[in-house]
Amino acid sequence: MKRYRVPTVAGSEITPESIYLQRRHFLRSLSLAAPLLASGCSRGEETAPTAAAGPVGKPLPAPRSERWKTDEELTSWNDATQYNNYYEFGTGKGDPARNAGRFKPQPWTVEVAGHAEVTGRFTLEDLLKPHALQERVYRHRCVEAWSMVIPWVGIPLGACLARFKPTSRAKYVAFTTVQRPAEMPGIAYPVLDWPYREALRIDEAMHPLSLLAVGLYGRELPNQNGAPLRLIVPWKYGFKGAKSIVRIEFWERQPVTSWNIAAPTEYGFYSNVNPTVDHPRWTQASERRIAGNGGNLFARRIATLPFNGYAEDVASLYAGMDLRANF
């Protein structure tokens, strides 16, 4: 198996929003978001929060994993929490931070259903209780050709799922996110078919890299980052990371997913980072790393790595598969 080495990244490599998105994607986003813009949703129904220089919120003490870490420079707290994709709060990158203030992540329950011996409704505390929190530093690659390096806090997804004793019929795991129009202004507009749905093959979900995250930078998740519970699958594009999860279901057949429904020729079920296969409207061969605290409009792009640099860990999951057909 060919191994890939992560390139050295300059600490100043952060780029303003204006050049993250290529022109066609920007225009498409405007067309999708036109009703939101007309209503003022993109500006936010609340005053934009003051950007914090460092992590804020409830501390979540967790030892850093020695297995899942990187020497690459971390994205700043400010960038990680102010530049987000979370369409339930609006399609602009700053909309989630502006519009998520009314969202209430507590109390929280998650329904577990489908082909498993243990099903039912569980509080967040019950879901996490058997497992010790750990911090994992992961690269996070967006399909829009930008990336971040974030220290997530959470529990292994596979260990959590094993608790429910999935049966032999459980070939996939589906995740459904919360739908609260009163607290999430973006849901009022048909940008996607709400609620948001994502899914993984069972072996992907059970892989040690997959994480159920409840925090970042040693603090609980801010609302705009998917509070209180979100999925992190670092070798896939970021839209696979379902936020604010309220249902986990074991399926025998491949479930539908939100972006695959919305644009099946652009967003496949697997969504593994593959730099040799371009998105129909932009290249995936390189990316702009949002890292450090400085800014450089002309920062160099770095090469995108197969499976986001985690090929050594996960490529065997797809042995024999055509990764162009199964994108």
- Residue pair 151/56 in contact (Cβ under 8 Å)? The answer is no
Residue 184 included in any domain: yes
Let me know if residue 3 belongs to a domain: no
Residue 30 lies in a domain: yes
Q: What is the pLDDT of residues 190-218, one digit of tens each?
A: 999 999 999 999 999 999 999 999 999 99
State percent of the chain over pLDDT 70.
Answer: 81
The residue assigned the tokens 């109390």 is 107
pLDDT at residue 11 tops 90:
no
Residue 109 located in a structural domain: yes
| CA–CA dist 138, 152 (Å, integer) | 7
Closest CA to 82 of 71, 69, 97, 67: 97
Q: Quick check: 5 pLDDT over 90?
A: no
Signed CA dihedral, 131, 133, 136, 138: sign only: positive
Distances (CA, A) of 175 to 128, 131, 231, 280, 314: 17, 20, 9, 26, 21
Average pLDDT over residues 176-184: 98
Domains contained in the chain, number: 1
Domain membership of residue 324 (yes or no) is no
pTM of the complete model: 0.85
The verdict on residue 270 lying in a domain is: yes
Do 287 and 301 contact (CB within 8 A), yes or no? yes
pLDDT digits (tens, 9 = 90+) for 45-72: 344 456 676 889 999 999 999 999 889 9
Residues facing residue 244 across a β-bridge: none
Please give the full DSSP string across 217-230, using - where no structure is assigned: TTEEPPGGGTTT-E
User: Which structure tokens are listed for 132?
Assistant: 């010790």
Domain assignment of residue 11, yes or no: no
**What range defines the domain where residue 48 resides?**
17-318
* CATH code, domain with 301: 3.90.420.10
What confidence category does residue 23 fall into, taking pLDDT thresholds of 50, 70 and 90? very low
Has residue 1 been placed in a domain? no
Is residue 93 predicted with pLDDT exceeding 60? yes
